[in-house]
Amino acid sequence: MLRLFAAIAIPWDIAQGLAAHQTGFNGARWRTAEQLHITLRFVGDTPETRADDLDAELSAIAIEPFDLQLAGVGHFGEPQDIHAIWAGVAENAALTRLQKRCESAARRAGIAADTRLYRPHVTLAYLKRPDPGAVMDWEAANNLLRSPAFTVKRFGLYSTHQTRDGSAYRLEGDYPLR
C-alpha cells in the first residue's frame, strides 16, 4: 500500500524565497524546500496495482508547459483549529486544466472522485493550536507575498511516509509536460 499524491515541485529558487516567510510561530512544523509542492490530486492509501494504473494514466496527460506565480497567503482551519498556513497560487487556466486532467486520470485508474474544492497552494507550515490573532498578524505581514513567475515543465506522482522528522516524499513517477 502506498500513500500517494500528484504534485508540482516548487523550484529551488522559489522555495528559497518562501523561506523568508517561514517565521513567526513557536512550535510550527515548517516545510523544507524539498517538501514544498502544489498538490494536483491527493490520492491517499493505494494498492500498488492501482498505483501502476494511476502511473499509466498520468503519463498519458498531454499539456504544454506553462508559467505559474505564487501570490498571497492564507490558512486552513477555523479560528479554534487552524492547522496550516500556506502561500497561494495566482489564478491560472493551465494549472486548472492540469489539475482536472489529473482528477480524470485518477478516476480512470479506479480511484474515487475527490469532492473537495480545489484550492492550489503551497503549505508552508503545520501548526498546533496557534493563537488565531497571531495567524491573522502573520497573514497581514505576508499578504503581499508574490513570487517571480516560474515555468512548470513537469509534475510527479509522490509517495509519502511519516518519519520522526515529519513527512518524507519519494518521487514514484515523473511526467514531463508536452
pTM, two decimal places: 0.96
Own/partner contacts of 101-106, CB < 8 Å, gap of 24 or more, are 101/61, 101/63, 102/6, 102/40, 102/41, 102/58, 102/61, 102/155, 103/41, 105/41, 105/54, 105/57, 105/58, 105/60, 105/61, 106/6, 106/41, 106/43, 106/54, 106/57
Residues in the chain predicted with pLDDT less than 50, given as ranges, are none
Domain residue ranges in the chain: 2-176
Q: pLDDT tens for residues 121-160?
A: 999 999 999 999 999 999 999 999 999 999 999 999 999 9
Query: Which pLDDT value is given to residue 12?
Result: 98
CATH top class, domain 2-176: alpha beta
Query: Which pLDDT value is given to residue 85?
Result: 98
Of the chain, the percentage scoring pLDDT greater than 70 comes to: 100
Cα–Cα dist 71/65, whole Å: 20
Residue with cell 524539498: 34
